[in-house]
Amino acid sequence: MTENAINQQKEQFLSLCRQYIKRAGIDELLAWLDTTDFYRAPSSTRFHLNEEGGLCRHVMNVFDTAMKIYKNCAEEPIAAGTSPFTKPVSEESIAIACLFHDLCKVGVYRRAEKFRKNDKGQWETYLSWEMQESFPIGHAEKSLMIVRKYMELNLDEALAIRWHMGMFDVGESGSFNRRAFYDATELSPLVCIVSSADFVASKCLEKTTEY
């Protein structure tokens, strides 16, 4: 991604934050982000948007997808009383949960020289990414800790960030986590909206770069 594209993404991200989030602490959180590699970091090492600027692009993709899911699928049934949920989901909550769900990835990806065999069977080096986690407390748990240093979260937002990985985060974690995820989906529609949006964005919208 070019320098100009990274700067444009940053302005787009900041514009979304200013438009949708009025919560106390947002200015401090954005100031902290400006001291990190958030706007330049990849979204992964070898999967979706594993390229410079990928993380910022990913969270905006998740936000855009979540807004579409809510507006096209959930808002009307909630308002009509045909949904098990009765309280509308605020756009601010969708923005907070989506735009900050992956802050755990800040500062953990590094450029790395790796080795592979070329089409002639000869070893060659190439530049890719590797993960160096200095605070392995858990993926979504770390995002929650970071956000809550700067702003208060309501129950829906906290649950949505915690469970944004959906079943990918609970498949091998035992029955307690599976039950906790299920219970979270019963408590807040935002949990389903954000986890679904994250899955759709990462699998249907975002390519993987081959280095």
Q: How many Å apart are CA 123 and CA 109, to the nearest integer?
A: 24
Long-range contacts of 137-140 (CB under 8 A, 24+ apart): 139/104, 139/165, 139/169, 140/101, 140/104, 140/164, 140/165, 140/169
DSSP alpha helix (H) spans, 34-130: 54-69, 75-80, 91-99
Q: How many Å apart are CA 147 and CA 158, to the nearest integer?
A: 9
196 pLDDT exceeds 60?
yes
What is the secondary structure of 121-147 as a DSSP string?
S-EEEEEEEEE--S--S-HHHHHHHHH
Tokens of 76: 């009307």
Report the phi/psi class of residue 201: left, alpha or beta, with left for phi > 0 and alpha for psi in -120 to 50.
Answer: alpha
The residue type at 10: K
Each domain of the chain, given as residue ranges in start order, spans: 3-107+139-205
pLDDT of residue 191: 98
pLDDT of residue 168: 74
Long-range contacts of 130-135 (CB under 8 A, 24+ apart): 130/45, 131/45, 132/108, 133/108, 134/107, 134/108
Cβ neighbours of residue 207 closer than 8 Å, sequence gap 6 or more: 48, 49
Residue pLDDT, tens place only, 17-37:
999 999 999 999 999 999 999
Residue pLDDT, tens place only, 52-63:
999 999 999 999
Residue pLDDT, tens place only, 133-159:
888 888 899 999 999 999 999 999 999
The residue type at 33: L
Q: What percent of the chain has pLDDT over 70?
A: 98
